[in-house]
Amino acid sequence: MNFTELARILKISPQELRDKLPLLGFDIGQKAIKVDRQIVNQIVNQWPMLLKKLKEIEQKNQEKIKTTETNTPNKKQIKISSFITVRDFAALANLPVNKILSELMKNSIFSSLNEKIDAETAAIIGADLGLEVVLKQEQIIDDVEKIDEFKQIMEKENSNNLITRAPIIVVMGHVDHGKTKLLDIIKNTNVVANEAGGITQHIGAYQIIHNNKPITFIDTPGHEAFTAMRNRGAKVADIAILVVAADDGVKQQTIEAYRIIEATKLPFVVAINKIDKPEANIEKTKQELTNQLKITPEDWGGKTICIPVSAKENTGIKELLDILLLTADILQDNIKANPQSMAVGTIIESHIDKGEGPVATVLIQNGTLKINDPLCFNNQLYGKVRALKNHLGQSINEAGPSTPAKIIGLKTTPLVGDLLTANKNDKQIKIKHVKNSPIKKIIQPTKESENQKIRKINILIKSDVLGSSEAIEGSLVKLDNPEVKINIISKGLGNITEGDINRAEANNARIIGFNVKLIPKVEELAREKNIQTKIYHVIYELINDLKINVQELTKPNVQRVNSGKVKVLAIFRTEHQSQIIGGKVIEGQAEINSFVEIIRDKQIISQGKINKLQAGKQDVKTVEINQECGLQYEGSPAIKQKDILQLYKMEPIK
Instruction: Write the DSSP string, 78-119.
Output: EEE-SEEEHHHHHHHHT--HHHHHHHHHHTT----TTSEEEH
pLDDT value for 202 = 54
| 319-349 pLDDT, tens digit each | 999 999 999 999 888 888 999 888 888 887 7
CA-CA distance, 468 to 32, in Å (whole number)? Answer: 48
Whole-angstrom distance, CA of residue 631 vs CA of residue 578: 10
Same domain membership, residue 317 and residue 204:
yes
Task: Select from 640, 646, 643, 641 the least CA-distant residue to 608.
Answer: 646
Angle formed by the axes of helices 466-477 and 539-553, to 10°?
30
CATH of the domain at 524: 3.40.50.10050
Final residue of a structural domain among 283, 314, 334: 334
One domain for residues 420 and 477: no
Contact present, 455 and 400 (Cβ < 8 Å): no
Q: Are residues 473 and 347 in the same domain?
A: no
401 lies in a domain? yes
Domain stops at, among 500, 526, 553: 553
DSSP single-letter state for residue 414: P
Specify whether 543 is located in the same domain as 581: no
Please indicate, yes or no, whether residues 410 and 475 belong to a single structural domain of this protein. no
d(CA 166, CA 164): 7
Q: Is 397 helix (H, G, I), strand (E, B) or coil?
A: coil
Instruction: Answer yes or no: do 86 and 32 share one domain.
Output: no
Q: What pLDDT sits at residue 613? A: 93
Among 500, 529, 553, give the residue marking a domain's end: 553
Q: Is 579 left (phi over 0), alpha (psi -120 to 50) or beta?
A: beta
Give percent helix, percent strand, percent coil of the chain, each to the nearest 5. Answer: 35, 30, 35
Same domain flag for 283 and 320: yes
The answer to whether the CB of 246 falls within 8 A of the CB of 280 is yes
From residue 554, alpha-carbon distances to 456, 514, 548, 551 in Å are 11, 26, 10, 5
Q: What is the pLDDT of residues 458-471, one digit of tens each?
A: 999 998 877 777 77
Residues 309 and 184 in one domain: yes
The C-alpha R_g of the chain, in whole angstroms, comes to: 32
Q: Is residue 146 part of a domain?
A: no
Tell whether 390 and 507 lie within a shared domain: no
Q: Rounded CA gap, 48 and 56, in Å?
A: 13
Residues 181 and 316 in one domain: yes
What is residue 497's three-state secondary structure? coil
Strands 510-514 and 533-536: parallel
The C-alpha angle with vertex 116 and arms to 474 and 419, in degrees rounded to 5, equals: 40
Cα(7)–Cα(303) distance, integer angstroms = 14
CATH number, domain with residue 404: 2.40.30.10
Give the per-residue pLDDT at 314: 87
Instruction: Encode 118-169 in three state secondary structure.
Output: EHHHHHHHHHHCCEEEEECHHHHHHHHHHHHHHHHHHHHCCHHHCEECCCEE
440, part of any domain: no
Residue 240: which CATH number?
A: 3.40.50.300
Q: Is 280 a member of any domain?
A: yes
Q: For residue 157, tell me if it sits in a domain.
A: no
**501 vs 516: CA distance, rounded Å:** 15
Sequence-distant (6+) residues with CB within 8 A of 610 are 590, 591, 592, 593, 594, 596, 631, 632, 633, 634, 647
Report the distance separating Cα 651 and Cα 648, nearest Å: 10
Assess contact for 314 and 183: CB atoms under 8 A: no
Residue 8 located in a structural domain: yes
Tell me, yes or no, whether 301 lies in a domain.
yes
Contact 531, 504 (CB under 8 A): yes
496 and 373 in a common domain: no
Residue 436 in domain: no
Q: Give me the phi and psi of 97, to 5 degrees please.
A: -60, -40
Residue pair 289/353 in contact by the 8 Å Cβ criterion? no
**What is the distance between the alpha carbons of residues 286 and 304, in angstroms, rounded to a whole number?**
11
Number of domains in the chain: 6
Are residues 306 and 178 part of one domain? yes
User: Which segments of the chain have a pLDDT < 50?
Assistant: 72, 138-145, 189-192, 199, 222-226, 426-451
Domain span holding position 460: 447-553
- Residue 140 to residue 148: CA distance in whole angstroms: 12
